[in-house]
Amino acid sequence: MIKKLKDFVLTKHFLKHFGLVVLFYLLAVLITVIYLNLATNHGEKIAVPNFTGMSSNEAKQKIEELGLEFQILDSVYDPKLPEGTVVEQLVEPTTLSKVYVKSGRAIGLRLSKRSELVEMPTLVHKQIQLAESILEQRSLRYEIRYRSTSEENGSVLEQLYKGRRIKEGEKIPRGAVVILIVGQNDLGEPLPTPNLIGLTMDQVKMMLDTTGFTSYSFICPDCLTKQDSMSAIIFGQSPEYIEGKTVLKSTHFTITMSKSGIGN
């Protein structure tokens, strides 16, 4: 039996087919290795730059020049940065991570945005002082306008945004100006026009409240935070201060201020 098997193995027919099988196996291994090298870009090393601080367009251009993919992950609210600035990246820069990538790898970017939406609260029927506090907590600005009414004095009658009534829950940009229509029963007696120039917001509020004025709004074009508003200096007011001039107690004051104390 062993002799027959040995004789069969040594035949030209067996040796020919055995050689073909070995050759096919070697070719399959070689083709697989070549394919894997090509498919996985074996040996390719691309250093990932630091894109933080770049604009999205600049970062996209550099990423595509490297043969990599560009992916926006999400946006982060930061009013101090220009819109679309890269604030974070995934993958991290090679200088920090010591990691290299291959072509086609996606680089995820988080971008800055200067506007953020907040929900409008319901202020109708609330006293103006409470309404002001609620708006300030949501980083919304406001302007007060009075209307003669038989309803409760100092109560909000309407809330407007861009000239239309705005409902509770509607989303508007943080820092937007909301117009509050406030009811007033009495126009009040004439009072001397106060001089507000050079004061801070807190000082103005104290002066106006002490003298009996209850209708006023602040405008600060270069104020980005509540701290900016609190430290800003008044450089303009309407009605303007004229010595000896009087205005009605119900008069609305529009007060302009700046972080530098100087108007643009």
Q: What is the CATH number of the domain that holds 103?
A: 3.30.10.20
Closest-CA residue to 91 (of 56, 47, 122, 126): 47
Of 165, 185, 205, the domain-final residue: 185
Instruction: Please report, for residues 65, 194, 233, the alpha-carbon distance to residue 251 in angstroms, rounded to integers and kept in the order given.
Output: 62, 12, 22
Does residue 123 sit in the same domain as residue 105?
no
Of 137, 155, 185, the domain-final residue: 185
Q: Is residue 14 part of a domain?
A: no
Of 166, 185, 204, the domain-final residue: 185
Domain containing 170: what range?
116-185
Does residue 206 sit in the same domain as residue 261?
yes
pTM of the model: 0.43
For 8, the 3-state DSSP assignment is helix
- Could you give the CA distance from residue 169 to residue 76 in angstroms, rounded to a whole number? 22
Does residue 195 sit in the same domain as residue 255?
yes
Does residue 194 sit in the same domain as residue 217?
yes
Q: Tell how far CA 61 is from the center of its chain.
A: 23
Does residue 195 sit in the same domain as residue 219?
yes
Closest-CA residue to 89 (of 224, 39, 40, 101): 101
Does residue 237 sit in the same domain as residue 199?
yes
Does residue 98 sit in the same domain as residue 135?
no
Q: Is residue 12 part of a domain?
A: no
Residue that has been written with the tokens 């290795």 in this structure: 33
Q: Mention every residue, 6+ apart, whose C-beta is less than 8 A from residue 208.
A: 194, 214, 216, 253
**Number of folded domains that form the chain:** 3
- Could you give the CA distance from residue 35 to residue 39 in angstroms, rounded to a whole number? 6
Q: Is residue 33 part of a domain?
A: no
What are the pLDDT tens digits along the chain (264 aa)? Answer: 565 555 555 666 656 666 677 677 777 766 665 555 555 555 578 889 999 999 999 999 999 999 999 898 888 888 788 989 999 999 899 888 888 888 888 999 999 987 788 999 999 999 888 998 899 998 899 988 878 777 667 789 999 999 899 999 999 988 889 999 988 776 667 889 999 999 999 999 999 988 888 888 889 988 888 888 899 999 999 989 988 888 878 788 899 999 876 655
Cis peptide before 239 (omega within 30 of 0): yes
